[in-house]
Amino acid sequence: MRLLSTKATCDTHGQGSSYFIGWEAYEKNPYDEVHNPKGIIQMGLAENQLSFDLLESWLEKNPDVSGFKRDGKSMFRELALFQDYHGLPSFKKALADFMSDIRGNKVTFDPNHMVLTAGSTSANETLMFCLAEEGDAFLLPTPYYPGFDRDLKWRTGVEIVPIQCTSSNNFQITEPALQQAYQDACKRNLRVKGVLVTNPSNPLGTTMSRSEMNLLVDFIKSQNDMHLISDEIYSGTVFSSPGFVSVMEVLKERNDLKDGDEIWNRVHVIYSLSKDLGLPGFRVGVIYSENDTVVAAATKMSSFGLVSSQTQYLLSAMLEDKKFTKNYIVENQKRLKRRQRMLVSGLKKAGISCLESNAGLFCWVDMRHLLHSNTFDAEIELWKNIVYKVGLNISPGSSCHCSEPGWFRLCFANMSEETLNLAMKRLKGFVVESTSTTQSHRSALFNASSKRNSLTKWVFRLSSRDHHRDQEER
């Protein structure tokens, strides 16, 4: 008889991924400007720390809210008692309005179709439980967030089948790639229940085009039992054109889809305040769906991961302050743009390019020229050198299931400018040293080859001369 469950003893959490291993290396030797200046700099964390001063300033100006008071009277007892897992109506209304504001108010969200969860991790897993059975599959375009191997699969038993996207078209989704993924799933006897995308993309830092989203809507429309999940947790981080277009806006624009069309029941949106407001520790996520059955089921499941009443109360007041949220969104995007340019500039000085991006807290960086061979083994070898020798925790493309070795995700919004500059200085030094070593190795090979060629020519001449003399003697 087993002492523990199969789930407790299985090794399918994904913790063995290089994405998580890099985190472990950082936690054992974290960089600190004063106490550990040679430690590992965390560039594997997609965290937004650039606008904390705006949030802290608002809290200082609203002491009643942060002290859980209303009109000077304590709200503590009310907030401390048992809450309805549907969530505070005031918070859901404020969150729905905030989501609309980020999307330029081109679409609106009905609070009655929102389910609050403890972060987007919980939201994605809950949707898997609602939409699929164990052994069913979702198609995900590559590269994708490494945590999905844990969030979508570990407890649900749902499978992920990659839609292989390549650098030839900047990793955009194509119909042949989508159809190939579907065929791959069928060959594995998997029932495909839908497609999940991140828009803006993690790790690419790019927004999806309308043509890509229409392709996906057409795809699920052609099937009677498929869903489309759009994870839009980075929607407020878009700092350059093209702007962000939500899948809800695409549905609204399509002439062939009217209100009440069943396709609306098969498109779902994930959102959270972890990235746009930089509040991952507050654990605020949301599922938005027009499907009443999904909303009802997800609401019941949300009782296993509620957002605290205190958090909802505080954030509802913050989000209801329209002047603050408008200023925050604009200023935060300006800061993200500036910081992204700093990273791109630093990489360029090191002789490294990256995919042109317009959103997110990271860049998709091309280090293929630093590989000693075009293999994933070479990528991991390069990654280990950068983590353990250079002291930068970055995420290798293989952890994101990229189909091409040599791509890496580097985060830029979770550190100070000084730390980012130090990271770029370290990386540039590594590239110079690596290039010098490679050139020396090639030079040595060339010299050895030249000597061999010279010796071969000398032996050939000597042999030819002896042969000619032998011919004369005969």
Quote the pLDDT of residue 81.
Answer: 80
Crossing angle of helices 322-349 and 417-473, rounded to 10°: 30
Q: Closest by alpha carbon to 422, among 47, 27, 37?
A: 37
SS3 4: coil
Name the band, by pLDDT with cuts 50, 70 and 90, for residue 227: very high
pLDDT for 364-378, tens place per residue?
999 999 999 999 999
**Taking each helix axis from N to C terminus, what angle separates 210-221 and 175-187, rounded to the nearest 10 degrees?**
40
- Res. 103 pLDDT band, cuts 50 70 90: very high
As a three-state string, the secondary structure of 438-465 is HHHHHHHHHHHHHHHHHHHHHHHHHHHH
CA distance 310 to 131: 31
Q: What is the pLDDT of residue 9?
A: 82
- What is the structure's pLDDT at 225? 87
The DSSP string of 74-119 is E-HHHHHS---TT--HHHHHHHHHHHHHHTTTSS---GGGEEEESH
Q: Where does residue 94 rank: exposed (0-12), middle (13-18), buried (19+ CB within 10 A)?
A: buried
* AA identity, residue 242: P
Closest alpha carbon to 285 in 115, 151, 154: 115
Catalytic one among 19, 31, 144, 145?
A: 145
Q: Residue 201's pLDDT is what?
A: 97
Question: What does the alpha-carbon distance between residue 114 and residue 248 come to, in Å, rounded to a whole number?
Answer: 14
The percent of residues in the chain predicted with pLDDT above 70, rounded, is: 90
Q: Are 127 and 288 in contact (CB under 8 A)?
A: no
What is the rounded CA–CA span in Å between residue 335 and residue 50?
Answer: 7
Summarize the confidence of residues 106-120 as an average pLDDT: 95
Q: Is 231 an active-site residue?
A: yes
Radius of gyration of the chain (CA): 27
3-state secondary structure of 36: strand
Which residues, 6 or more positions from 371, have their beta carbon under 8 angstroms from its beta carbon?
378, 379, 382, 405, 406
pLDDT at 460 over 70: no
CB contact at 8 A, 103 and 96: no
Decide which of 13 and 175 is more confident.
175
The amino acid present at 188, given as its one-letter code, is: R
User: Is the model's pLDDT at 329 over the cut of 90?
Assistant: yes
Residue 107 in contact with residue 249, Cβ under 8 Å?
yes
Tell me what pLDDT residue 470 has: 47
- Return d(Cα 45, Cα 48) in angstroms, integer: 9
**173 is known as an active-site residue:** no
275 is annotated as an active-site residue: yes
Is pLDDT of 473 > 70? no
- Active-site hit among 163, 275, 287, 313: 275
For the chain, the average pLDDT equals 90
> Which one of 97, 136, 151, 231 is the catalytic residue?
231
Tell me the DSSP string of 153-170: TTTT--EEEEE---GGGT
- The pTM of the full predicted model, rounded to 2 decimals, is 0.89
Res 469 pLDDT > 50: no
Determine the Cα–Cα distance for residues 388 and 410; give it in Å rounded to an integer.
Answer: 16
Q: Does the annotation mark 110 as catalytic?
A: no
- Average of per-residue pLDDT across 426-431: 96
Confidence of residue 425 (pLDDT cuts 50, 70, 90): very high
CATH 3.90.1150.10 fits 18-51+334-431, yes or no: yes
Q: Given 41, 220, 229, 233, which residue is catalytic?
A: 233
From residue 200, give the alpha-carbon distance in Å to each of 12, 120, 257, 393. Answer: 27, 14, 24, 23
Average pLDDT rounded to a whole number, residues 124-129: 96
Q: What is the pLDDT of residue 381?
A: 97
CATH architecture of 62-325: 3-Layer(aba) Sandwich (3.40)
Please give the Cα distance from 176 to 198 (Å, whole number). 20
| CATH 3.40.640.10 domain position(s) in the chain | 62-325
Q: Could you tell me where in the chain the CATH 3.90.1150.10 domains are found?
A: 18-51+334-431
- Tens digit of pLDDT for each residue in 18-73? 888 888 999 999 999 999 999 999 999 999 999 999 999 999 999 888 888 888 88
pLDDT for res 447: 61
**What pLDDT, on a 0 to 100 scale, did the predictor assign at position 471?**
43
List pLDDT tens digits, range 201-221.
999 999 999 999 999 999 999
